């Protein structure tokens, strides 16, 4: 299922759609808001997706807690249907229905402090960490990098080793 289809499904407040993505279930946009207001508080991730030309709000939880989530959804009147990769819950009577546009603004504001500090406010070690391309390094190079940083944090110069 593509991003646009997930966003379209998320507009339906009477049917919750949980998307199984690897070891997690994820919710999007309006359904993420309703879920976090009524079922479980989760961290909302905000990301601008160029393909759909909008900010997408998502949250998720591990599949290991799905049974607890199903119980909570059943308790608020949801009829659960599972198919491959999707769990849909119809007929939910949400207790809280916040204003979606206001909620979106709050999520964007909450996301700002989590972004990386501007380079001018970074310490030398933070700059080194931000610039270290771990995906292009061998495990040994990554380990050497961490040992070097620990040495700097503990005040041990390379020459003293």
- Show pLDDT as tens, one digit a residue, over the chain (161 residues): 899 999 999 998 889 999 999 999 999 999 999 999 999 999 999 999 999 999 999 999 999 999 999 999 988 888 999 988 899 999 887 887 889 999 999 988 877 654 555 556 678 888 888 888 888 889 999 899 999 988 888 876 555 54
Model confidence pTM above 0.75: no
pLDDT of the residue at 119: 58
**Same domain (yes/no): 67, 85:** yes
In degrees and rounded to multiples of 5, residue 136 shows phi and psi of -105, 10
Q: Are residues 95 and 148 in the same domain?
A: no
Residue 45 belongs to some domain of the structure: yes
d(CA 14, CA 105): 23
Range of the structural domain that residue 50 is part of? 3-114
Q: Is residue 159 part of a domain?
A: no
- 16 with 81, same domain: the answer is yes
Residues in the chain, total: 161
Supply the pLDDT for residue 22: 93
Q: Which residues of 121-146 are buried (b: 16+ CB within 10 A; e: fewer)?
A: eeeeeeeeeeeeeeeeeeeeeeeeee
User: What pLDDT does 153 receive?
Assistant: 84
Give yes or no: residues 48 and 108 share one domain: yes
Q: Is residue 30 part of a domain?
A: yes
């Amino acid at each position: 299922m593509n991003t646009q289809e997930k966003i379209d499904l998320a507009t339906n407040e009477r049917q919750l759609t949980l998307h199984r993505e690897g070891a997690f279930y994820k919710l999007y946009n309006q359904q993420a808001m309703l879920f976090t207001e009524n079922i479980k508080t989760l961290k909302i991730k905000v990301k601008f997706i160029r393909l759909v030309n909008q900010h997408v709000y998502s949250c998720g939880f591990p599949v290991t807690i799905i049974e607890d989530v199903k119980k909570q959804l059943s308790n608020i009147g949801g009829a659960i249907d599972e198919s491959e990769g999707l769990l849909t819950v119809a007929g939910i009577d949400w207790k809280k229905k916040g204003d979606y546009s206001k909620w979106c603004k709050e999520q964007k504001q909450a996301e700002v402090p989590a972004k990386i500090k501007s380079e001018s406010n970074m310490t030398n070690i933070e700059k080194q960490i931000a610039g270290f391309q771990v995906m292009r390094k061998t495990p040994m190079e990554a380990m050497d990098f961490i040992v070097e940083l620990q040495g700097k944090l503990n005040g041990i110069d390379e020459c003293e080793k």
